[in-house]
Structure 1
Amino acid sequence: MAHADRITCPVLSTRVTTAEEAARHVAHGMSVGISGFTGAGHPKAVPGALADRIAVAHSRGEEFRIGLWSGASTAPEVDGRLAEVHGLDKRLPYNGDPTLRRLINTGEVDYVDAHLSHTAQQAWFGFYGPLDVAIVEVAAVLPNGLLVPGSSVGNNKAWLERAEKVVLEVNHWQPRDLEGFHDVYYGTALPPHRLPIQMTHPMQRIGDPYLRVDPAKVVAVVETNAPDRNSPLNPPDDASRDMAGFLVDFLRHEVAAGRIPPNLLPLQSGVGNVANAVMEGLLTAEFTGMTAFTEVIQDGLLDLLDAGKLDAVSATSFGLSEDGAARFLADPGHYKGRILLRSQEISNHPELVRRLGVIAINGMIEADVYGNVNSTHVMGSAIMNGIGGSGDFARNAYLNFFVSPSTAKRGSISSIVPMVSHVDHTEHDVHVLVTERGLADLRGLSPTDRADRIIEHCAHPDYADRLRDYVDRAKAARPEARHTPHLLDEALGWHRAFLRDGHM
């Protein structure tokens, strides 16, 4: 790979080296910040070289483990490879790798599951301690030392600012035409010096098209030419399409009631087949002139852009399938001016989510009859992935939806339970629940009214009568405490039954 057109800074071009040499700047006990968000923009070479070093050290009986900070999930060649060699002692703020998930759940790796909007600011607050090395992928290094970001921004700005040493990976796979797709805000400050963020539209530019780095901190520049982890498209199934249908019809109802405009409000959706089904539903719906203020750009958002239904998307990362990535790479200019990538401290910022009036759509593991939602833990203890950005958006959204099939494990688990085994989103923050059975609008309802609506509209028939029985008996058990009635000796009995018998 010739770097003449990608690394044009005279100073940094002298620091081009191999991944193996760059990895030598990481030592046991260090904290390392890496780029990457949902498999886009992660470093492709240095983490693997680092894993090889760790494996050799362990074969000699030497201790070698690091703390790893990122934007969100990365890819098997980062989280998976480092987990395989048992090279991690701490991970934050999100994980999606199955190998690492097993090590987190067995207690080998300490996991800090944090709101994605909080990570950069808490790093600046010093909550996580010093950051020793940042390993950040970019598309190009300009003559003046400015960096053209790649397919995700995530926490890169914070890592470049906070790290003692910086390793840059310049990936030739990232299109050079990405220059101009980014808006990196450098106006944040520590309390009490904070000022309002001056943004009133999802596509308003408030920052710079480039990342900044102190050239004196850059100890290595590595060239790569490797694709992102382009995830297979999760095609919507019948249940997902049913949920999407309920949700889109509800948006129609809100427009007719005058609570949202005909072009809706800025949309945010999590990843997965339900999100893809919602985008598919919006593609055939009557709404036009839509915008999105979200985290990840999946194929469905490209479909809406291409169809002229969606005017613009603000996000922090791509999260495309192989076909979606090929579509974007074939003509990036087609999307320029309609896609803007920001740091996740801005894409997920509560101030902006509330000001813009975002409509948020996120998945859940389970909800209880009163509307509390568990997004992260299976049977109360085992982490699945993490809270991600769902809390950033749900608590501050104009309107939020939590979606899930009504059952899991072929019907052996109910997604609607008497009491959630872990709480990520309290009943105070949950507006609408959706399953393939129906939709429950919880706004303005008391807890017991919520229970009636959730059981009627969202619970699977195999479990609905038992849920009603639980609520009725809880009301009768303590007549003086009927606001949120529970039977504490059996509230988690369904979870206990599953762990014991394999069925709720």
Structure 2
Amino acid sequence: MEQRIHHAGLGAKVMSAEQAAELIDPGMTIGMSGFTGAGYPKAVPQALAARMTASHQHGEAFRVRVLTGASTAPELDGALARADGIDLRLPYQSDPELRGRINRGEMDYIDIHLSHVAQYAWFGLFGKLDLAIIEATAILPDGRLVPSSSVGNNKTWLDLADKVIIEVNHWQPSELDGMHDIYYGTALPPHRKPIPLVNPDDRIGEPYLRCDPEKVIAVVETHAPDRNSAFAPVDETSRQIAGHLIEFFRHEIARGRIPPELLPLQSGVGNIANAVLAGLREAGFRGLTAFTEVIQDGMLDLLAQGVLKVASATSFSLSPKGIDQFLADLEFFRSRIILRTQEISNHPELVRRLGCIAMNGMVEADIYGNVNSTHVAGTSIINGIGGSGDFARNGFMSCFLTPSTAKHGAVSCIVPMVSHVDHTEHDVSILVTEQGLADLRGLSPRQRAHAIIRHCAHPDYRPLLQDYFDRAFRDSKGKHTPHLLAEALSWHERFVEKGDMRP
């Protein structure tokens, strides 16, 4: 493998993943790199999981607390979960094994806004950070690290951890050097100063992560790709949702509320998000920018086609095809993508100042515009709130997108009352399904209910929702936000009992 470790002292600390895992003690709180399946440590977590399994076979407890940037991959979350090695996990996850253990009550999980994680860590709310395990592309002669395909909370973990293990991944292209912008100007109250970022393409920091060589206890060399799943083909429902939203953008441009090049885009991950991005190209939009969390396949396409000028994020979230596209034209993308720490990519003040257009998926919305983006039937976590709340609360326009039904029609994604609230009606501007779009801005609760039922609900459920609202308005004492409390969650109860929300 080519030389990637240019610090003599750290070169002397190169060892195997198994040797590095021996340096990790039960009960440690560990900050690991990784954000949406990119830039996570590949070897040490698997070696640690093997050690945990061996300890459990001998009747010895071995669990750790794991903090990351967001979700990781099977080599980290999956391996440690299967080994019953995680006591606490935060702030976001997507691994099936991990999710199952969380929902069975076998481990603790904290679902938290991504912009809060670094600040809470600095406040000490997660306890002392014993160890950081960080993937890097290279180590410079002075000990600084060239970040890999995500930044996430790596700066914070390196600053706070007592000890550091570095995985130098030779699979990550050396051309990533210079793509990152690591800002070291944040501080805790009352010593905060304005962050000097006024455009998505502003560079306000430095391209490398600072790392105290004295804290490094091991360096492990790897050659392993990021693991992300392929996106399913965009279906007709996603195209219809995208079409409603793009038509609405044109409406807003015509009324002078947003410019022809829109405002900086934030987009969640998935088929609907990629359909919206593709629709923007087909609709003739040009000169767009993105200030978001992740660069996904759709954004690579917009950059390659000249629709998008620049994309600022904290990580990649690419399918295998997207990874190939990025690697094949890396020099082109390198000058048009900036990867930042997630305390900057998700910073509420920056989102508000830039006027981001937030586009995120959801599980369900109720007739008043409250959104559940994390739970099934109010009790089982799916992935987590991620950064959607950072953008929904603070963006210029907060759009939530979903098909109107799920489970082949057995579930309505528009319900009388959501079973779990992640985004209150106060933070939701626009709801879109394949049925249509409801602009909730400037509407009272009863007006919102009429708009959502009329424009977003599936025809199979629309009469049921209208009947619920009419009876609630007639029979409830409070007419401002009418509800039948004994019936508000009956749809979810029916689904849990019978597998279908329909009576």
Range of TM-score over shorter length? over 0.9
User: For 1:72 and 1:222, how far apart are their aligned partners in 2?
Assistant: 22
Amino acid at match of 1:160: L
Matched, 1:500 2:497: yes
**Residue 230 of structure 1 contacts residue 325 of structure 1 at CA under 8 Å; is this kept in 2?**
no
Q: Of 397, 403, 416, which residue of structure 2 is paired with 1:418?
A: 416
- Displacement of 1:233: 2.3
**228-237 or 137-146, which deviates more:** 228-237
Q: Of 20, 23, 26, which residue of structure 1 is paired with 2:21?
A: 23
User: For 1:187 and 1:376, how far apart are their aligned partners in 2?
Assistant: 33
The root-mean-square deviation of aligned C-alpha atoms, in Å, is 0.8
- Structure 2 residue aligned with 1:172: 170
Matched, 1:484 2:484: no
What's the TM-score once normalised by structure 2's chain length? Answer: 0.99
- Structure 2 residue aligned with 1:86: 84
**Residue 377 of structure 1 contacts residue 384 of structure 1 at CA under 8 Å; is this kept in 2?**
yes
**Residue 69 of structure 1 contacts residue 93 of structure 1 at CA under 8 Å; is this kept in 2?**
yes
Task: String of CA shifts for 1:278-310, please: whole Å, max 9, x gaps.
Answer: 111012112110000001101110100010110
Where 2:408 maps in the other structure, the secondary structure is coil
Where 2:460 maps in the other structure, the secondary structure is helix
- Structure 2 residue aligned with 1:292: 290
- Structure 2 residue aligned with 1:248: 246
Q: Of 192, 195, 199, which residue of structure 2 is paired with 1:194?
A: 192
- Displacement of 1:275: 0.5
Where 2:229 maps in the other structure, the secondary structure is coil
- Structure 2 residue aligned with 1:37: 35
- Structure 1 residue aligned with 2:466: 468
Report matched runs for 1:400-439 at 5 Å.
400-439=398-437
Amino acid at match of 2:378: G
- Structure 1 residue aligned with 2:154: 156
Task: String of CA shifts for 1:214-255, please: whole Å, max 9, x gaps.
Answer: 110000000000100132023211110100000111111111
- Displacement of 1:460: 0.5
- Structure 2 residue aligned with 1:139: 137
Amino acid at match of 1:481: G
Task: String of CA shifts for 1:338-358, please: whole Å, max 9, x gaps.
Answer: 100000010000010000000
- Displacement of 1:330: 1.9
- Displacement of 1:116: 0.5
Where 2:12 maps in the other structure, the secondary structure is helix
Amino acid at match of 2:465: L
User: For 1:274 and 1:30, how far apart are their aligned partners in 2?
Assistant: 39
- Displacement of 1:500: 1.4
User: For 2:235 and 2:120, how far apart are their aligned partners in 1?
Assistant: 39
Q: Of 348, 351, 358, which residue of structure 2 is paired with 1:350?
A: 348
User: For 2:329 and 2:303, how far apart are their aligned partners in 1?
Assistant: 13
User: For 1:473 and 1:109, how far apart are their aligned partners in 2?
Assistant: 42
User: For 1:211 and 1:184, how far apart are their aligned partners in 2?
Assistant: 7
Amino acid at match of 1:225: H
Matched, 1:312 2:310: yes
Where 2:41 maps in the other structure, the secondary structure is coil
User: For 2:330 and 2:168, how far apart are their aligned partners in 1?
Assistant: 19
Amino acid at match of 2:209: L
Kindly report structure 1 stretches of 4+ aligned residues shifted beyond 2 Å.
none
Amino acid at match of 1:493: S
User: For 2:284 and 2:355, how far apart are their aligned partners in 1?
Assistant: 21
**Residue 58 of structure 1 contacts residue 64 of structure 1 at CA under 8 Å; is this kept in 2?**
yes
Amino acid at match of 1:242: Q
- Structure 2 residue aligned with 1:376: 374
User: For 1:25 and 1:367, how far apart are their aligned partners in 2?
Assistant: 47
User: For 1:415 and 1:82, how far apart are their aligned partners in 2?
Assistant: 33
- Displacement of 1:328: 1.2
Report matched runs for 1:2-151 at 5 Å.
2=2, 5-151=3-149
Task: String of CA shifts for 1:34-53, please: whole Å, max 9, x gaps.
Answer: 10001000101000000000
Where 1:118 maps in the other structure, the secondary structure is helix
User: For 2:38 and 2:314, how far apart are their aligned partners in 1?
Assistant: 10
Amino acid at match of 2:118: A
**Residue 401 of structure 1 contacts residue 431 of structure 1 at CA under 8 Å; is this kept in 2?**
yes
Amino acid at match of 1:293: F
**Residue 359 of structure 1 contacts residue 399 of structure 1 at CA under 8 Å; is this kept in 2?**
yes
Report matched runs for 1:227-246 at 5 Å.
227-246=225-244
User: For 1:408 and 1:323, how far apart are their aligned partners in 2?
Assistant: 27
Task: String of CA shifts for 1:368-393, please: whole Å, max 9, x gaps.
Answer: 00000000010000000000000000
- Displacement of 1:261: 0.5
- Displacement of 1:331: 2.8
- Structure 2 residue aligned with 1:323: 321
Task: String of CA shifts for 1:450-479, please: whole Å, max 9, x gaps.
Answer: 00000000001111111111111111113x
- Displacement of 1:336: 2.2
- Displacement of 1:326: 1.1
User: For 1:236 and 1:326, how far apart are their aligned partners in 2?
Assistant: 19
- Structure 2 residue aligned with 1:302: 300
**Residue 231 of structure 1 contacts residue 319 of structure 1 at CA under 8 Å; is this kept in 2?**
no
Where 2:326 maps in the other structure, the secondary structure is helix
**Residue 364 of structure 1 contacts residue 403 of structure 1 at CA under 8 Å; is this kept in 2?**
yes
Unaligned runs of 5+ in 1: none
